[in-house]
DNA sequence: CCAAGAAAAGCACGACCGTTCGGATGCGTC
DNA sequence: GACGCATCCGAACGGTCGTGCTTTTCTTGG
């Protein structure tokens, strides 16, 4: 790895943490430069524009999500157990993935109404994530751990809801029992998806 | 109502719509002034600072939430039916309350990590909302429509999750069946809370 | 060890930010 | 008609934003 791409990823990692606190739009070249010990122009040289930087941050965050959540999940045995692993890793990600909560959740509510390349990239990323989630749940169905007639989209919808509620309860309300509540909700979801 | 407070609320209404699209932090005095047909300074005269403006927006949004969701809900018969009304009005609010989705959801993920008066006000508002929701659910318990040993906090947590997933699915993914999915999830939640 | 090229710094720009200030304008009151 | 008060305006402030240019410093392959 050449020096250029090395500092580039270092910048993106720092930027992702910063953006998880102040949002992708709140990202500033100046503060990001200070944070990384670079000059404004020195940093800017790695990106064509601020928009390109934001998209780069999303890409880097995706890599980290794959490393911290998806890869460990896929390393567990197929079926029920894997769905559980996905949920647990996902929960852990939201608290330890970035300095200020899940970057994607923040980015979604920031860019859901702002058309443009950033939203497009984010949408692609979210669709991809949903697809992966449904695939994992589908294997649990194939294994017979979940009902054969399970509505995958509905399951993914409700799982996403639990994750979002956990993030909300955790980051905004700072409720100490947020994780317990999320687990309880998850158990109820899985129980209702069991084969009858 | 004097002229001053009249334009003030007009400003706040406009600001709320604008903020629902670009976020509370994305609010700018300049564009807001243009939007309302005022001069920058003329507009600014109504608020002590930009932060005060943001807090004012939250207050105005709360008023609108009470008018559009809470008041109609409390006008329906106590119990099961009222919980249902709350959910339906809440869903409608998310699509029709503001130009760019629910302002509170946007504000939460924007300010959950930014200490200060805005976050404090937002937290107060959210706590208050949760309290109201739990009160409404509690009446359904008292009426015998829901189980006597129902965990109110857990119910509120999961209901919030459905609302958030709906917002996510609606505003970001633009899924046409988001409302149906939310209703299905709600039915499952209520069913599991029924007395046994 | 040196030259070629990449990487970072330095500097400056135009635009826009929140905010301040002095002065118009209109409106009730003596 | 003169006054005080509320409302709004235009102009300007210092600061920060993203983004180009030019120059210096560092990295690296032969």
Q: Under a CB-based contact definition with an 8 Å cutoff, are residues A184 and B154 in contact?
A: yes
Angle ∠(A154,A167,B163) on CA atoms, nearest 5:
45
Helices B152-167 and B80-96, interaxial angle, to 10°?
30
> Is pLDDT at B140 greater than 90 in this prediction?
yes
Q: What's the whole-number average pLDDT of chain A? A: 96
Nucleotides of D under 7 A from a protein CB: 6-12, 16-22, 27-28
Residue contact A165–B160, C-beta within 8 A: yes
Of A23, A100, A165, the CB nearest to B25: A23
Q: How many residues would you count in chain A?
A: 196
pLDDT of residue A140: 98
pLDDT confidence tier of residue B47, bands split at 50, 70 and 90: very high
Tell me A79's DSSP state.
Answer: S
Q: Under a CB-based contact definition with an 8 Å cutoff, are residues A69 and A90 in contact?
A: yes
pLDDT confidence tier of residue B102, bands split at 50, 70 and 90: very high
The residues close to strand D, meaning Cβ under 7 A, are: A 2-3, 27-31, 40-41, 44-45, 49-51; B 2-5, 7, 37-43, 45-46
Helices A50-65 and A3-22, interaxial angle, to 10°?
90
CA-based nearest residue to B123, from B73, B55, B70, B47: B55
Chain A contact present for B20, CB below 8 A: yes
CA-based nearest residue to A20, from A99, A119, A92: A99
Chain A contact present for B134, CB below 8 A: no
How far is Cα A7 from Cα A115, in angstroms, rounded to an integer? Answer: 30
Residue contact A21–B127, C-beta within 8 A: no
pLDDT confidence tier of residue A8, bands split at 50, 70 and 90: very high
Q: Under a CB-based contact definition with an 8 Å cutoff, are residues A83 and A140 in contact?
A: yes
> Is pLDDT at B1 greater than 80 in this prediction?
no
| Residue the block writes with tokens 């318990």 | B141
* Stretch B172-183: mean pLDDT: 98
Domains and CATH numbers, chain A: 3-193 (1.10.357.10)
Q: Under a CB-based contact definition with an 8 Å cutoff, are residues A57 and A12 in contact?
A: yes
Chain A contact present for B31, CB below 8 A: no
> Is pLDDT at A183 greater than 90 in this prediction?
yes
Q: Which two tokens stand for residue A156?
A: 């993914």
Task: Summarize pLDDT for B65-97 with one digit per residue, the tens.
Answer: 999 999 999 999 999 999 999 999 999 999 999
pLDDT of residue A196: 86
Q: Under a CB-based contact definition with an 8 Å cutoff, are residues B14 and B36 in contact?
A: yes
Q: What's the whole-number average pLDDT of chain B? A: 97
């Amino acid at each position: 790895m050449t020096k250029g791409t090395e500092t580039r990823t270092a910048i993106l990692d720092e930027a992702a943490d910063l953006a998880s606190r102040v949002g992708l739009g709140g990202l500033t070249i100046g503060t990001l430069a200070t944070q990384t010990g670079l000059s404004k122009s020195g940093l800017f040289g790695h990106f064509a524009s601020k928009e390109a930087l934001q998209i780069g941050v999303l890409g880097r965050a995706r890599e980290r999500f794959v490393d911290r959540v998806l890869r460990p999940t896929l390393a567990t045995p197929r079926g029920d157990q894997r769905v559980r692993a996905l949920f647990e890793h996902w929960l852990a990600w939201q608290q330890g993935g970035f300095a200020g909560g899940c970057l994607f959740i923040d980015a979604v509510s920031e860019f859901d109404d702002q058309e443009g390349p950033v939203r497009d990239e984010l949408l692609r990323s979210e669709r991809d994530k949903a697809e992966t989630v449904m695939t994992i749940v589908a294997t649990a169905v194939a294994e017979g751990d979940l009902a054969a007639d399970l509505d995958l989209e509905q399951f993914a919808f409700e799982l996403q809801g639990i994750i979002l509620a956990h993030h909300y309860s955790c980051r905004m309300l700072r409720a100490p029992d947020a994780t317990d509540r999320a687990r309880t909700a998850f158990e109820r979801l899985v129980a209702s998806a069991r084969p009858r």
